[in-house]
Copies of this chain bind each other. A is one copy, B any other.
Amino acid sequence: MASTSPTFRDLQQQAWEANQALNRAGLVVATFGNASVFSPSEGVFAIKPSGVPYTTLKAEDIVIVDVEGQVVSGSLRPSSDTPTHAVLYRNFEGIQSICHTHSTHAVAWAQALRSIPVYGTTHADHLTVPVPCTPLMSDARIDGDYEIETGNEIVHFFRENHLRAADVQMVLVGGHGPFTWGPTGQKAVYNSVILEEIARMAWLTEQINPDAAPIKEHLISKHWQRKHGKNSYYGQ
């Protein structure tokens, strides 16, 4: 199927919109960051080309790759983080979009090698556990296929800590920065926006009270349930 097929064009358009939304939200500097959108039925995803500025990016520049990260359609080289996206799509069932940014406060937590504690209901509205931060990768992984191993590190961390990608739609890669995902491009971008805000609020919380404690399970659970539980009453 050529890049001019309706399916590919639609994926390109969605991925282009997600990338533009990342830029509008002020989450990326220069050519940093990338968003992709996945079609499970086609087994391909559309991703930003490497090193192209957001302001000049066109929908037809978006590259179509398969779940092994091999280019299926497009004349530009895909994002260097493409193999990481591919690993996540292969392992995290149900996600159809991934964003990677270098947003300032999320990166700061990743560089500090700390998970973000659940300090308030803004956090609990979105996930019931700390935003996970993976440890620095081993030298063996770094020397291996680095971007694939970055994906493996995330998947491994989620499995080991019994986290479900449907519940926890964001992660900090230690020493690097955030990845977020979701069922749509809009939701994945939204999660990047929220993560940056949660990261900023948590930093300030500790500045204002060095003894700040995570809120209790009861309150976390209540906020999560009202937005996501089976009797949720948030939204339309």
Q: Are B226 and A146 neighbours in the complex by a CB distance under 8 Å? A: yes
Q: Are B205 and A111 neighbours in the complex by a CB distance under 8 Å? A: yes
Q: Are A136 and B216 neighbours in the complex by a CB distance under 8 Å? A: yes
- Sort A-B residue pairs by CB-CB distance and give the 10 closest, nearest first: A51-B235, A112-B209, A108-B204, A112-B208, A111-B120, A111-B205, A111-B119, A175-B215, A121-B176, A139-B218
A206: CB under 8 A from chain B? yes
Name the B residues within 8 Å of A193 (CB-CB).
29-30
On A, residues with C-beta under 8 Å from B are: 29-32, 49-52, 76-77, 80, 102, 104-105, 107-114, 119-122, 136-137, 139, 142-143, 146, 175-177, 190, 193-194, 197, 200-209, 212, 215-216, 218-219, 222, 226, 233-236
Name the B residues within 8 Å of A136 (CB-CB).
215-216, 219
Number of copies: 4
Q: Are B110 and A120 neighbours in the complex by a CB distance under 8 Å? A: yes
Name the B residues within 8 Å of A121 (CB-CB).
175-177
Bound Cα distance A202, B80 (Å): 24
Bound Cα distance A207, B52 (Å): 32
